[in-house]
A and B are shown apart, each in its own frame.
Chain A
Amino acid sequence: MIVRCVVLFTPFEELRNVDVLIKGEKIKEVRPSRTKNDDDVIEAEYVIPGLIDPHTHIGLYRLEGEAGDHGFEVSDPVTPHLNVSDAVDLFDPAFKDALLAGVTCVGILPGSYMSFGSSVERITIMPGQGSVYKTNGSLVERTACIKAAVGEHPKRFLSEQKAVPTTRMGIVAELRAILTKAKEYAESEKKDKKDPKLEALIPLLKGQIPLRVHVHVERDIQTVLRLANEFGIRVVLDHATEAYMLSDSLQDVPIVYGPTVFARRGVELKNLDSANLSKMKGLQFSLTTDHPTIPIQYLDLLCSLALAHGYSLKEALQLVTINAARVLGLEGRIGSVEVGKDADLVLLSGAPLAPETKVLMTIIDGEIVFKADERE
């Protein structure tokens, strides 16, 4: 298959009149367009890499608040052995919405979303493992990370449950306790029996997967960095509302920022503002919808706001493509149109991020998974 692009955002460069050759699931070549009519050519105006949202809850909250709400386990605040892929509903219509909007890959994490019906976010201290999916339903990575949370939101959940601990200190002490135990467990020669919780933390301690931490305010970001240093683990800051205050010390820390359009609800979110994007330049961050907080089909809309805060179109697109791939540790496979990478492409009717531009076609792993004339 050849996708003949008038304009291609790789997204590092804006190339004109190029052919993207796809062989099987991969991009085989990117070369100047040939005038002759090859077989199997798809003519395209604007082409971008498939969009990526590293932080969603697709397939978990379709039945919020009812039997079938699989956001996180409420019976135990520390459950690193649980994995979202055992709960993800692949028939959640959000997968289709994602395809229609050119979102080709998502991280799905256990934990909270910002329900506007509830008064505040709720989450446990360590709700479990997140996975990475292509939005056609294929599982890319089952155990992609361990999710944790610090600050006011787990505090609130625990107090509602009349459970302990009841402070930030206590929450971090719990995290430290289980990480210490897991370290000892990993180092011990003989194990009487397998401990599923501690077993689950070994890849984290070995640096194979990151700890993705739900965190909003500056003091909690500092705490997460301290914890990362103490255990020599990789961390990703998720939401990271006040990260812009620490832009000097966060140069090397991956951040999933947002959602940037939401109520400044509670002290935790008092500094939430899409305008903070102007102070985030230079950091390695990506953007998120936190679906269902903002529906997944509006990922590019959230991204477009960066254009009002000093980002060029290329820079803005990187926030939802290559930067997101880096957060997921999959930058060698997705996030840009380069030889050897997965053939995840989006064909647009006009310039990327313009309100009137429509997605005409979405390709995942070299397969057409959505075509505009199929729109209902």
Chain B
Amino acid sequence: MIAIKGGTVWTGIDTIENGVVLIEEKKIIAVGQKVSIPYGCEVIDAHGKFVTPGLIDAHSHIGLIPEGLDWEYSDVNDFYGPITPQMRAIDAIDLRDAAFSDALNGGVTTVYTGPGSANVIGGIGLVLKTTGRILKEEAALKAALGPKRSREYRSKEPYPSTRMGTVALFRQVLEEAKLWMEDPTKVDQSKKHIYAIVARAIRRELPVKIHLSTSPDEITAAIRLIKEYNLDASIDHVFGGDLLAEKIKKAGIPVVYGPMMLSRLYSGFKYVNDRIPVELSKHGVLVALMTDHPVIPQKHLRLLATVAVRNGASYDEALKMITVNPAKILHMDDAVGTIEVGKDADLVVWNDHPLRPSSHPICVVVDGRVVLKNF
């Protein structure tokens, strides 16, 4: 049994001064000011320190583009063809990537990592703890509506070159998957395995992450598709989202913004704007922040929330964007994202409020195990 005692405990719901978090095995069993600490319990003294849930990154490619290697050694985009739901990130992930221990020591404990955006449907990502424990092998289906560049590889099928082509292909696959659901004999039998996966998205069994990187017109197209097929989807990157805040709010679609700290180059990132998550949050949209690791190293996730504060978010709002909000978006909020009884004991003790620049983790606990202690 472990007790983290005396710190300012930010639970994700409220802040408890001089609080106690009691951990038994892998779970949190008590939180509050008046929690009695059983005899023989290991006590971590957090007086004058700040305690938060482990941070959560809802969109990254950690373990798929190992550090210290060129991006050619990446396993993130397979140019097999524009529709590849059969690609599973778990079949490629390198749990020995040094980025995992960096992330852990940076207070990041739960992450989504998955295929990139080269394909219209790229594959299935997973959710894991940065200690390596897999939480969901198949956490979300990755789709991308951005323009597809013509590829130099001999792909099985041609890539669409326009957004119209991309959306039409996406819709066609969804329609064929629906047909497969009605009568499996009616479809191209060589593509049954593809439809079987897409059907899970149509049944809302598999969430969809729709990647948008260039402009607001992609968001409009995505909202239309999500509504039309009643998908359980988040819109990721969401550049230009500030221009469509009301529309996104009305559609009830959560977003994962980032990576942050990109320049607004006219060619690719004209609609990048780090005020987007703040604006969307003000409109009532559920917002999480992403590192898109390795674009921003995952250990700097807390720095992205600091960027949100610089751009007008409150400290609480920004901290939620890297804890409870991504937990909800990844459908992991029954296990992680807040400090509540019954949840996984993923906790970080910081020397100061984690969004203050001088802050750093001095103790990290994952699944009830102390993985960093640096008092």
Contacts and interface: CB of A to CB of B under 8 A. Distances in A.
Interface residues of B, number: 34
Nearest to A353: B357
A264 B68 contact: yes
Interface stretch (B153-161, B221-229, B244-252, B259-267): B259-267
A69 to B, nearest CB: 8
B300 A261 contact: yes
A265 B309 contact: no
Nearest to B74: A119
Contacts, number: 98
Interface in A292-333: 292-295, 298, 301, 304-305, 307-308
A263 B294 contact: yes
Interface in A62-104: 62-66, 93-94
A119 B70 CA distance: 7
B261 A117 contact: no
A266 B68 contact: yes
Contacts of A117: 268
B267 A66 contact: yes
Contacts of B306: 301, 304, 355
A356 B309 contact: yes
Contacts of B268: 64-65, 117
Contact of A264 (B67, B265, B315): B67
Contact of B296 (A62, A261, A304): A261
A44 B295 CA distance: 38
B47 interface: no
A231 interface: no
Contacts of B263: 61, 94, 291-295
B335 interface: no
A305 B357 CA distance: 6
B261 A265 contact: no
A31 interface: no
Nearest to A58: B263
Interface in B233-259: 259
B310 A120 contact: no
Contact of B67 (A119, A263, A294): A263
B355 interface: yes
Given A62-B266, A274-B300, A307-B358, 10 more contacts: A116-B262, A263-B293, A263-B297, A292-B265, A301-B357, A304-B306, A308-B357, A308-B358, A308-B360, A355-B309
A-B pairs with lowest CB-CB distance, top 6:
A292-B263, A270-B68, A304-B357, A263-B294, A307-B358, A119-B71
26 contacts: A62-B266, A63-B267, A64-B268, A116-B259, A119-B70, A119-B72, A120-B70, A262-B297, A263-B293, A263-B297, A264-B68, A264-B99, A265-B294, A267-B69, A295-B264, A301-B261, A301-B303, A304-B306, A305-B303, A305-B357, A307-B357, A308-B358, A308-B359, A353-B357, A354-B357, A355-B355
Interface of B: 67-72, 99, 259, 261-268, 293-297, 300, 303, 306-307, 309-310, 315, 355-360
